[in-house]
Chains A and B, each alone.
Chain A
Amino acid sequence: MADYNDVLNNALSEIGKDQAQKTGAMRFLASLKSAMNIAAALNVPCAGTASMLIGLADAGMSALDGNGQPIDLDKLYVTKATDDLRSIGVSEDAINKILSSR
């Protein structure tokens, strides 16, 4: 599997040369996705990780590219992990109870 730290370092060097931050980030994501696709194709042990990274790279590229559409700030708010857990019946108490039983 390509070491993604190398990919990250290469991308950071690339961005260091490039004043256009978006272009640098796009290149980073493209190189990351390419490396992870290779890993997935080779069926290496970390292929599960690779598939998640490919998903994140796609999401990041999509957000940066934007398909020419204006970004609606009202759609950029997020919910906390704790609130999402609570909404499906998982409280902090339940987590802490398990942690204290270790």
Chain B
Amino acid sequence: MPQKTMPKVLRASAVSFGLLAMLLSGCGSTLGKAKQTAAVSQKVYASVEAETVKQIAAIIEKDRSGTITKDDKDRLVILNDLRKVLDKFADAHNAYVAGLKVWEDSKTKPTDLDDLSMKMLEIVKDAQDLAKRLGIRVR
């Protein structure tokens, strides 16, 4: 698919997930840094998720009104893949935030927090792979 016609949400997600990957790779050193990473994660997720939901809903509406096109269906394939990645990311993000709560309350870093951030990093890579499959060049 040509880059020009790429749904803007996907190109945006490629870049912003790249930023998240940078943050996640070194986020667990202090509680403050980990909380900032979670805050950025939430902002990026919310922006990309809202656009994804909006675009999927618009295509579903076109299907209901009988005006859906082949391009819409092709776009829905991409958006549906992104939806699944976002769902996995939401689970990992929420678990990470819950882990930070434990850290904040107990003053002790949970042992599985680094594993969680690595899991988030893996999911970010899934998102990057998705973008790459669509012809988006990301690092």
* A contacts, CB < 8 Å to B: 4-5, 8-9, 12, 15, 21-22, 24-25, 28-29, 32, 45-46, 48-49, 52-53, 55-56, 59-60, 62-64, 66, 71, 73-74, 76-82, 84-85, 88, 90, 94-95, 98-99, 101-102
Indicate the member of B15, B22, B44, B87 with the most A CB atoms within 10 Å: B15
* B52→A78 contact, CB < 8 A: no
* B56→A95 contact, CB < 8 A: yes
Residues of A within 8 A of B139 (CB): 5, 8-9, 12
Q: How far is the CA of A5 from the CA of B18 in the complex (A)?
A: 10
Query: A73-B101, A90-B60 in contact; A80/B15 too (CB < 8 A)?
Result: no
* A81→B83 contact, CB < 8 A: yes
Main secondary structure on A side of the interface with B:
helix
* B83→A85 contact, CB < 8 A: yes
Nearest B residue to A49 by beta-carbon distance? B8
**Which of the four size classes fits the interface of chain B?**
35 or more
Q: Can you report 19 residue pairs joining A to B where beta carbons are below 8 Å apart? A: A5-B137, A8-B18, A12-B139, A21-B26, A24-B22, A32-B15, A46-B11, A52-B8, A53-B11, A56-B43, A63-B40, A71-B38, A81-B49, A81-B52, A85-B56, A90-B56, A90-B60, A95-B60, A95-B83
Residues of A within 8 A of B51 (CB): 52
* A59→B19 contact, CB < 8 A: no
